[in-house]
Structure 1
């Protein structure tokens, strides 16, 4: 009983604590105090193309500032990432590196002893300066020795929380909204982009072009035979119709009356036979139905009829032979005796 109670308590404790643990932020963060850069440091010249504003997060909903232990805030957790594209390590303190929003706005100066290693990143939290925060515009500039070496136009639409505006790839002129910010690290070369609050997923689609099937060769269309001229231009109202070839066929009588030129004697219909007609198949070949010609069905019927007559003749012959043996053969034997 005691074991069951302890097991139930442990399960209850895990069911309560595990969900809250899974909600804890797992993304990296950065300290507002810049890291120490070893080696020889040089002062960067105020030329464009060396130092870049590389990534910006404007709407934090998590603790991106490692020193911020309370609830996330725009003042403490908004960050800007600087990228050094050169082979030299730069001393940013000596050149009074800063961020501002244009001429006449309050700048944010980088912390004391700020430096950046070759091909590395430095993260700053400029909104910790309230004056900088209050003078924000849609323009962000990187200042070296009082000269703007990089200028960025920020997105005018409201960005979703915890999404960043980044160069893809690092130091390039292509900007993209990332739904997975890469604070203090290299930006990906391919990332799911989002526009405002709508997620846009990059999908590569391969379209296969079907191989066209060869079209069949058109068959030769036979030249239509000229039809004979009908004597009457109107059909009868009792259901008679004018058949092809100029023949008039009534609805109640299936006989065909030839209209036009007097046909030859061998074309005249014979009583009890079907008038000859000419049909054309799909290939254009014509076949003539001769009234005197015998069809396959008629030939089959004739064969059966012949077999029946042959069998009947054999039976009659057998009957006659049997009668001859029964009646005539004894008489002949008696006459011979």
Structure 2
């Protein structure tokens, strides 16, 4: 699609892991993108990859606060609002739980009001965490979840559930046209090496001199989606016209399920590491099983992941190896 002076896409959290890949894909398609990010958890290098590209603009802002005039003055041009603004790994969102909750609720409210004013379509990136430690497997969108509203993860889990409720209320009141994605574990280049997510943890440990850490006995399962597949799903969801999407969330994730121990074994084999494997206590409320039912995405979006775990892990390991090598060169030069 050719770039139009009259159309602008706002991506909140656009300097983050998934957000930066989404922005890059939209720019590749010739779209003009306004990236909004407070840079609290984003890697500065993600932003540097985007700056200077035709059609890209950046505003540093925390969506917990009212949107600045530099954004609201562009409302007449905004046709799409993607909300990816929230720390997504447990160590990051638990570091400031109040801010995490406010980002999900107050921040979503600010962006919904902007979408209402602009007449723009709004997409909320929710999470598989709304299912908690599920009693139903795999997880379908009509499953209401098994979450703790008072545990250490609740700032994120309950924050996203509240954000969904607010978003669907806007739809019911015809105040905004909305889409809601429930994102399952996603991985790939441009992840933060210290974000505490299992893929980045294992790969960075394997490529350095640190022990390989597995929480619990490693029998808990996850399903890992490569970031390019996730971005494709988000764009398909935003642009799909099926009226059903205004009334129900859509799971986006890879339905191939494996144990954390199996993932660790694959990373060890792929990297050739001989690092010691250390088992640590399982964090409170950590889900035992996680696997999406993506039937709704397949039916309404024509979307299924295409990148295999082996291919995705190879690309991610290669990227982290390059990043860690550059970090070592910088330290050696200091």
So what's the TM-score if we normalise by structure 2?
Answer: 0.22
More strand by share: 1
Give 1 or 2 for the bigger CA radius of gyration.
1
Q: Tell me which of the two structures has the higher relative contact order, counting C-alpha pairs closer than 8 angstroms and 6 or more residues apart.
A: 2
So what's the TM-score if we normalise by structure 1?
Answer: 0.22
